[in-house]
Amino acid sequence: MEEYRSLSIKKLKDHARGRLIGRYGTAFLAALTILGAELIITFFSGTGDSTPARYLLTLLIFTVADLLMGVLEYGESNLYLKITRSAKDVSVQDLFIGFKKNTDKAILVRAVFTGFSLIGIIPAALYALKPDLFPAINATLLAVLLSVFEYLVLFIAKLFFGLSFYILCDESGLTAKEILLKSLDLMKNKKGRLITIYLSMIPLCIVSILAFGIGFIWFTILLKAVVAMFYNDMLGEMTGTLPIESATPDGSSTLDIRL
């Protein structure tokens, strides 16, 4: 058998686009579901007035809601793994797998990202409660800087634990701690490659923003598919083959490793 060679970033994108053909509708409905859930969280965790009591309530609502989003993120990872592995039985229902099994592990894995998110919003919380602690600069500029800090902290978390939900899909017998540790191990010496993938998507992101909402949803779908292919490629590096999923006679899915 020919030795497996890891895919270039261009090939990762090409494979992702190819696997999405015929499945964009499913991915689009899943993206709308995730977006709807995030908008609901944003609505109910609106800051309102900035009194300490109000802010603590807002923080509590955000924390609980963000933890529950782990169930959908697990399902989303399951959906994109099936898409990128050419599974035949892909549907929006795959998004809700976390409501049927591994709910607790999905929430525990998400807790790490929620923790990083809470760290990321500390400056914004301080500004809301004690604006005099910050230098007198343009309010819009300060808001942008605070948002950049928040997303940077969360991005750092993804560089270490971003494969956790894919691992949960493939190895649900592991504990949440083992899943997180395995993600750490897989991402050793791979962080630069993942950063390069994200940077390579920036031009497309700019174009999609100019195309307004629908364009950005399409960009998000492609990005998630590329990251799922990145995970598959890492498995290929370890096993010597690229994972492809196939259906069994009873309709369930099984992992078939092949070139």
Compute the chain's Rg from CA coordinates: 20
Average confidence (pLDDT) per 10 residues, the chain, 259 residues: 80 96 95 91 64 80 92 97 93 95 97 95 82 77 88 95 97 97 95 96 89 82 97 90 57 37
Q: Residue 127: what pLDDT?
A: 79
Domain ranges of the chain: 9-258
Q: Residue 248: what pLDDT?
A: 33
**Model's pTM, two decimal places?**
0.87
Give the whole-angstrom CA distance, residue 154 versus residue 174: 24
Q: Residue 213: what pLDDT?
A: 63
214 CB burial (10 A radius; 0-12, 13-18, 19+): exposed
Q: Residue 250: what pLDDT?
A: 32
Complete DSSP assignment for 229-246 = HHHHHHHHHHHSSEEEEE
Residues in Cβ contact with 114 at an 8 Å cutoff, skipping those fewer than 6 apart: 63, 66, 67, 70
Q: Residue 17: what pLDDT?
A: 95
